[in-house]
Amino acid sequence: MSIVVENLTKQYGPQKAVDEISFQVNTGEILGFLGPNGAGKTTTMKIITCFMAPSAGDVKINNLSIHSNPDEIKKKIGYLPENNPLYYDMPVLEYLDFVGKLQGIENNKIQDKIVEMVHVCGLNEEKHKKIGELSKGYRQRVGLAQAMIHDPEILILDEPTTGLDPNQIIEIRKLIRHIGKEKTVILSTHILPEVEATCDRILIINKGKIVADGTPETLRKQAQGNEVLRVQISDSDNKDNLISTLQSLDSVQMVDPVTDHNGTFLIQSKPGTSSRRTIFNMCVQKKWVLTEMTPIETKLEDIFRELTTD
């Protein structure tokens, strides 16, 4: 089940919350939707889930447009809104029953579905309590359970792990990854490690526009440019000699000694080349002992900062 977003725009007064964005998500893909607060993530999700009409543009889900077939689309989507609003005065089971019926599950299947969801989301001990009596983590699970009860082909989760403890976060991520194997998932967050841990693809949005789109690896490569290595060489007394030898290598662009650490250097290669092999060969030749060689990766945080600050 694919989602195609075409030139989507949403205007609130003079402000454009979402500005002509277009992207596509395919079946079995987990898309991480990143962006600073107020970038337009939630607005986009509200439009895809047919809660709000866009000012312009269209979203097509399996060739059904949100303008002409909202009812069909709503049945295929499971949605966990931001802040996870729930009816606090309803017991968990009753609530799941209500949602299941609204989503058109037949009466004879609904009990099985509820049992399944209670099991999958780990709600068994709390299932008879009212939602208002649950802790935040359990409420979040109820939120996930209601989103998945009708076995939707598309899951849209707006910050699914806020307020959870680290154990629960790991469990929920595992759950999302598991679901994401057969379904299309869009999840928004501003916790960057979460995206790396769960998503196949990242979409960074800033001020209503898409600023980056790709797998974590391609984004990193794009942002990084040249290869940077951290190299430590011991058994060499003559530091200057070491630097000049390193500098003389063909592929090396720049050598930068790390202060405080004797014999440690940051070595930047020329564009498109790698110096790992030549450095190793050189050390062998000179009988120097190479004690460390680590490629330095650009972190997702850096990419995010670079793309979303002016």
Q: How many residues bind another protein (CB under 8 A)?
A: 33
If one asks whether residue 50 binds another protein (CB under 8 A), the answer comes out as yes
Nearer to another protein, 110 or 202 (CB): 110
Q: Of the ranges 32-40, 49-57, 184-192, 277-285, which one interacts with another protein (CB under 8 A)?
A: 49-57
If one asks whether residue 280 binds another protein (CB under 8 A), the answer comes out as no
If one asks whether residue 87 binds another protein (CB under 8 A), the answer comes out as yes
Q: Please give the sequence-ordered ranges of beta strands (E in DSSP) within the chain, or none if there are none.
A: 3-12, 15-25, 30-34, 56-61, 64-65, 77-80, 154-158, 184-189, 201-206, 209-214, 228-234, 252-257, 264-269, 289-295
If one asks whether residue 175 binds another protein (CB under 8 A), the answer comes out as no
If one asks whether residue 83 binds another protein (CB under 8 A), the answer comes out as yes
| Residue of 60, 101, 177, 207 interacting with another protein (CB under 8 A) | 101
Alpha helices in 32-152 (DSSP H): 41-48, 70-76, 92-102, 107-120, 136-148
If one asks whether residue 284 binds another protein (CB under 8 A), the answer comes out as no
If one asks whether residue 81 binds another protein (CB under 8 A), the answer comes out as yes
**Torsion 173-177-178-184 (CA) sign:** positive
List phi, psi (to 5°) of 247: -65, -30
Residue 40 DSSP one-character state:
S
Q: Which residues bind another protein (CB under 8 A)?
A: 11-13, 46, 49-56, 71, 74-75, 77, 79, 81, 83, 85-90, 94, 98-99, 101-104, 146
